[in-house]
Amino acid sequence: MTKRPKEPAEHDTRLARLVLNLRSQGVTDPAVLASIERTPRDLFTPDLFKERSWEDSALPIACGQTISQPYIVGLMTQALTLEPRARVLEIGTGSGYQTAVLARLSRLVYTVERYRTLLREAEARFNRLELTNVITKFGDGMLGWPEQAPFDRILVTAAAPEEPRDLLKQLKPSGVLVAPIGKGPVQKLCRYAGDGAGVFGMDILCEVRFVPLLEGVAREL
């Protein structure tokens, strides 16, 4: 008797639908899409929202923060034009989802988070996924990580009020920085690309909504 082929798991169906949606919106880099496929978003999502893990939407996490919309994760990652040997600085670890996507595309990811609770939870997820190329720091993201500079790429996952000059100083002359810029509820997603001589041109990719980039560390959480 011939066995019937197994029906695809609901998880696989949702993931395939998400990837197709990302591709239709312009996230077409095969490596970026493959990294998103390999990163289980449900692992980074609070239990209350597990059923919505594979929706293309931002979701709340602890400390009043969010796990970014997969489209924005894909868009920002693609805009970095990552290379396998890249050293990447991420400002705002959050749930660790964006970090995990970056880790599969880079040599090293240095990530800074101002909430201890979020950082501890993210570190546990990195360990579970055996991501050994992620280096974490509890600290003020506005300061970056000067001891490890210069970086090939920098990604900021919270809205900076203005051009992040201090972070640009930690970027290699030919590096790329991607960050939401603006003080209001809607910001501009900006890409800064170096010309190799220390001059950075800026392009606006789209409008986005991010939590603000705050100074200092959160002492109570």
- The set of catalytic residues is 68
Secondary structure class of 82 (helix, strand, coil): coil
CA-CA-CA-CA dihedral for 22, 24, 30, 32, to nearest 10:
-20
Cβ-Cβ contacts under 8 Å for 36 (sequence gap 6 or more):
18, 19, 22, 70, 73, 74, 101
Range list of β-strands (E), 115-170: 134-138, 151-156
Range list of β-strands (E), 77-217: 87-91, 108-113, 134-138, 151-156, 171-181, 187-194, 200-208
